[in-house]
Amino acid sequence: MLAYVFWHWPNPDIDDATYRDLLHNFHKTLNANQPRGFLRSVAFAVSGLPLQTTSQPGFEDWYLLEDSASLDLLNEAAVSGPCEQPHNLVARQAADGTAGLYRLRSGSDDLASARYAMWFQKPARMSYQDLYSKLSSTTAADRVGLWQRQMTLGQTTEFAIYSSAVIQPPDAMPTSKVELQLVWPR
């Protein structure tokens, strides 16, 4: 499973409730008109992301896909047909954004139940096998998923663990912890 993840921040002159409603309507329309290979989307209000370029709260959209070929279909469907107007309404209110492509490495893909995220880089001298081994007990827990960046489409962090409960990072591993507030589905 792949996820196209898009982080965005509203223009300062739009109020939070209006932006959330526009974002919710876009996701509702997209999920009602799913392109082939698109599984579902989840959107969060977030604050304090490591890549965030502003102090104002931002938003994080996860578009879950069967495979990389589905990305082209999503890209077209999100801005045309029934999705065109809802997309354009929220896009006109966005001040900035960046994205990345992630793969579920282990654990759960139940992002809608996540309320916490932990973003981190693999320590420089640690092998990927050692990292996965170190995280295996964490990602074996219920509703915990480990996501790894597959493609950088902007400034992004290599790994994220999404969970429904607070989790502790492995010893000596610097992380950025983020609380998530579900916007879609609600």
pLDDT 10s digits, 75-100:
999 999 999 999 999 999 999 888 99
Nearest CA to 53 out of 9, 19, 90 is that of 9
The answer to whether the beta carbons of residues 184 and 63 sit under 8 Å apart is no
Tens of pLDDT along 10-30? 999 999 999 999 999 999 999
Given this model, what pLDDT does residue 52 score?
A: 64
Between CA 68 and CA 59 the distance in angstroms is 23
pLDDT class of 5 with cuts at 50, 70, 90: very high
Model confidence at 107: pLDDT above 80 = yes
| Nearest Cα to Cα of residue 161 among 180, 148, 142 | 148
Instruction: Write down the pLDDT at residue 50.
Output: 64
Which residue type does 90 have? V
* Ordered domains of the chain (ranges, CATH): 2-184 (3.30.70.100)
The number of beta carbons lying within 10 Å of the beta carbon of residue 184 is: 22
DSSP secondary structure letter of residue 124: T
Burial tier of 32 (Cβ tally within 10 Å: 0-12, 13-18, 19+)? exposed
Helix (H) or strand (E) holding 107: strand 94-107
Give yes or no for residue 63 having a pLDDT over 90: yes
